[in-house]
Amino acid sequence: MFLASAGDPLFVDGINFAVALAVIIKVVLAFAFLLVSVLMMIWFERKIISDMQNRVGPDRAGPWGILQSLADGTKLFFKEDLLPDRADKRIFRLAPYLSAVPAFLSFAIVPIGGTITFGHYTTELQVADPPIGILFLLAMSAVAVYGVMLAGWSSGSKYPLLGSVRASAQMVSYEAALGLAVAAVVLYTGDLSTRAIVTGQEGLLRHILPSWNVFRLGFVPFFVFLIASTAELNRPPFDLVEAEQELVGGFHTEYSSIRFALFFLAEFMNTITMSAIVVTLFLGGPDGPGFHFLRWLWPILWFLGKTLVLLFVQVWLRGTLPRLRYDQLMDLGWKVLIPGSLVWLLILGGMLISFKWGLIVLGISVLFGAALIRARSLGAQRVGEVGS
């Protein structure tokens, strides 16, 4: 179903006007797809949460309220663009773009299908397939932190500054766990290209299950990545960055009009991008059964279906779980996800050497973990005795 080659076959014969035009068309189509997906995601989230809470949800603008997101975006375009007197004007204007642009660039490395042929050219249904695609993803994830941090710092107000400091600490903390989950995929696949990772998940595992990384890696990196990406995106129940009780609106309190819309766009665009990344790394990407007619279409449908399921999970979490306290947020990241993903990475490394080494590492990890839990419980007991 996929063309396992080094790079996009579009560039096999070099670059000419037709190749450059094809690249431009792919970029424009991907950007348009993301923008439309953001509008649909906002409507989808409102509708699902309203169903969960026994409410109607948007139903006035367009059929089933499907144009409500477009109406909200149009309203933001025509609202007054405020610029605080004490703000650092250049950084204040730059920060929204540092949040929105990395979301699109991260999506550019996602393979949404196989290959398609037009005329004399064959190209991948993917904007770019760099040989270091995973490193590029982690780099864009790190750049997004600057957009949030600079937005709060440049506003000239203490509440956005507190929100941005909280955001940067949260994003950096969970980025470590996210990186360890990605390292497990790279360790098992042996390649940094997203296309190679998808190609490596084709076929069946023991002739029963799909050979997806979620099964091959033992589920742990999948759940670590899912939780860490949700926390890094500041989505509920990890939305401490915008906790209305303490910080009004968080790091973007002083923003309005189109600049606020860019932060809003970045949040939902990142949600779609991260769901697509999870599908690529752990759920086989566009891999799935196909038919003999319209072969290029079935991978796209499989990819969209898997991404839609993960987006529903994100909305489900938002409508179900209460917001964590900040100490619980940090404990989950530093005391659970990072040590757990690191230990699991060691176990996977041992399994790659031999099954015996994997069991040895697993046994040592269990004993060490039990000792830590025992020591922690004894410490807590002594503190209680001293307090009493």
- Give the Å distances, CA to CA, from 90 to 95, 144, 153, 251: 9, 17, 12, 17
**Same-domain status, 359 and 253:** no
Q: Is the pTM of the predicted complex or chain greater than 0.95?
A: no
Who's near 17: CB < 8 A, 6+ residues apart?
A: none
One DSSP character per residue, 302-331 reads HHHHHHHHHHHHHHHHHHHSPPPPHHHHHH
- Give the Å distances, CA to CA, from 356 to 216, 320, 350: 17, 42, 8
Q: pLDDT tens, 187-203?
A: 988 889 999 999 888 88
CA dihedral 59, 43, 82, 244 (to 10 degrees): 100
Least confident of 51-60, 138-147, 234-243, 334-343: 234-243
**Same-domain status, 365 and 376:** yes
- Average pLDDT (67-75) is 87
Tell whether 2 is covered by a domain. Answer: no
**Same-domain status, 263 and 360:** no
Single-letter residue type at 80:
E
Task: Provide the token pair at 39.
Answer: 């509008």
Q: pLDDT tens, 132-181?
A: 889 999 898 888 888 888 988 898 888 888 888 888 888 888 988 999 99
CA dihedral 14, 17, 18, 21 (to 10 degrees): 110
Residue 38 has pLDDT above 80, yes or no: yes
Structural domain count of the chain = 2
Tell whether 256 is covered by a domain. Answer: yes
Least confident of 7-11, 46-50, 65-69: 7-11
**Same-domain status, 367 and 349:** no
**Same-domain status, 303 and 372:** no
pLDDT confidence of residue 272: 93
Q: Which residue has the tokens 């080094």?
A: 6
Confidence of residue 274 (pLDDT cuts 50, 70, 90): very high
Residue 225 has pLDDT above 90, yes or no: yes
Tell whether 313 is covered by a domain. Answer: yes
**Same-domain status, 155 and 172:** yes
For residues 128 and 27, what is the distance between their CA atoms, to the nearest angstrom?
9
pLDDT confidence of residue 292: 72
Residue 15, domain extent: 9-353
Q: pLDDT tens, 310-348?
A: 999 999 998 898 888 888 888 898 988 998 899 899 888
Tell whether 199 is covered by a domain. Answer: yes
**Same-domain status, 303 and 381:** no
**Same-domain status, 191 and 257:** yes
pLDDT confidence of residue 3: 37
One DSSP character per residue, 74-107 reads HHHHHS-----TTS-HHHHHHHHHHHHHHHHHHH
Single-letter residue type at 313:
V
3-state helix, strand, coil in the chain (%, to 5): 70, 5, 25
Q: DSSP secondary-structure letter at 10?
A: G
Q: DSSP secondary-structure letter at 127?
A: S
Tell whether 144 is covered by a domain. Answer: yes
**Same-domain status, 340 and 365:** no
pLDDT confidence of residue 246: 61
| Helices 133-154 and 158-189: angle between axes, nearest 10 degrees | 170
**Same-domain status, 363 and 310:** no
Tell whether 4 is covered by a domain. Answer: no
**Same-domain status, 312 and 386:** no
**Same-domain status, 248 and 372:** no
Residue 39 has pLDDT above 80, yes or no: yes
Q: pLDDT tens, 140-150?
A: 888 888 888 89
